[in-house]
Structure 1
């Protein structure tokens, strides 16, 4: 977890030993005493406006390190957008809430809860289906601890998934469900590059183990630079849609139900939880990493 000592000082490491955030789901094995997620720091704060200590956390429950090889198959990458309909941008009127209801329904059909259990560790997060072959995108830090991977869809059925690959640098991993893949509806991908500040978005996933949760907000910033582990500062979509531990790997969707980001991190102050500052990996970067993982498998 990263923080700072003085109101005007730069962010720096302030320790990485924290208890996992409690959730309603009980795990059958001992949960290891590990931090709730990989830690990122934000850019140096504005000295004139910073009022108190803060920190930036991944919205997952466990961490590890890994890197995966990359590959080609640009055609597969492009095909993810092949069927996306470029609908007119919605006006800011009474139709927006109704559109969000439809977007939530679409997104929930392709979102899964993810549980990873080993002999002495357990982690959980979210993910979403991207094709008819059962490939699921999530965050690397959700599955990096290793163990048996189970995904649970909106039908409540538990299905075993295998890890196809993961990349720590981009914090993206790909899973695949064997039997029962037909039960999931692949989500369409939008373009984070088309997002506008103030545009409504939904964060979908399993915060604190509460599967099928949807929170609404707006795009707060479209090119927020945050430091992502060892990869240096990278662009992220900032949103005030509520994101909490367990949301990691779930989709951030626009009002048309298209995925525009992968929910990954939140800023907190003194362990206060969500304060309306969340970050999502742009879908273009996440999809390219997923394509590379699948091509190299």
Structure 2
């Protein structure tokens, strides 16, 4: 009886192989610890963060598709894409647990060698924030030395975000969104709108009528919450490792990271929760009507 592996193809010199397709040899040369003498856990630290950057690349790939889907009113596609992003976010959060297998002593054995590098300088994460709607021009200066990163961030800053496209869709669906919101300067930080809040509340109140929009709101909430949960987990890990010491990039460390926990990419979707529930139903209707009249 033939062995099962006898049917496997033996690659030739010009055949595509697993290693060639994935550039495995090149990939495995990208981990270059800096400490001398070498510290065992620096390899783990490098690999974890390189994997983060790969997942950021994939999330950005998905966010671009999600943005196209919203612009075309293809909300089923949006939900599918965000479901994938949510799964990736679960991995991002769980990877923190691997980092915590290092003790503070292990980390401090090579931490000083990292100065002034910092996760704050991840241009892919900054691009993700821009693509979702958190536009802060001030961050551009931290990448002025990198022409490639500067170009990517400038393009993301000037492009309408995923949330901008969703608000445009609400207007196309007949919700009363004022021109000031629809034609705002997309390079500026988004300011929450009572009209967008009113639309979100109405969609939640009448979920059966607006089920595709309701599902889209929940998908966007999943995306926003996933980033928040990752930030929270990351803050706890950093405090466990370095306490309240300053970050390697010069930030205030845990204090700075804690401030980022207040970020919300889709604020009206969160705020809508304040206006739902039987006890508040009448007040919700009044708030929605008032918001529409004031815009």
- TM-score band, normalised by shorter chain: under 0.3
Q: Larger strand proportion, structure 1 or 2?
A: 1
* Greater gyration radius: 2
Q: Larger helix proportion, structure 1 or 2?
A: 2
Length-normalised TM-score, structure 1: 0.26
